[in-house]
């Protein structure tokens, strides 16, 4: 019986996640949608999101590539 209570307590924060995610979704879609009539804000937000994820992808992939090359050279010498 005690294990059931522990499991319920562990799941409690997970149950409240949709509430927080819903709020986040509303805020993001408020800026992206055209409900408030500022098209330039929407375009800027969209470009900002695209640029951010492109930068993240480029940095992470470059870092991984450099690590892979470094390990390749290391194991070739080893």
Instruction: Encode pLDDT of 2-12 as tens digits.
Output: 555 666 666 66
Count of the separate structural domains present in the chain: 1
Q: Which domain holds residue 71?
A: 2-77
**33 touches 42 (CB < 8 A):** yes
What pLDDT, on a 0 to 100 scale, did the predictor assign at position 70? Answer: 82
Interhelix angle 2-32/39-77, nearest 10 degrees: 120
Q: What is the mean pLDDT of each run of 10 residues along the chain (78 residues)?
A: 59 63 66 60 75 90 85 75
Of the candidates 61, 36, 59, 33, which has an alpha carbon nearest to the alpha carbon of residue 45?
33
- Give the model's pLDDT for residue 64: 87
Look up the pTM and report it: 0.41
């Amino acid at each position: 019986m005690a294990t059931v209570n522990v499991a319920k307590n562990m799941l409690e924060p997970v149950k409240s996640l949709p509430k927080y995610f819903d709020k986040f979704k509303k805020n993001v879609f408020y800026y992206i949608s055209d409900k408030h009539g500022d098209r330039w804000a929407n375009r800027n937000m969209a470009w900002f999101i695209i640029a951010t994820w492109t930068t993240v992808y480029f940095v992470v992939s470059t870092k991984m590539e450099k690590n892979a090359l470094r390990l390749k050279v290391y194991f070739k010498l080893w």
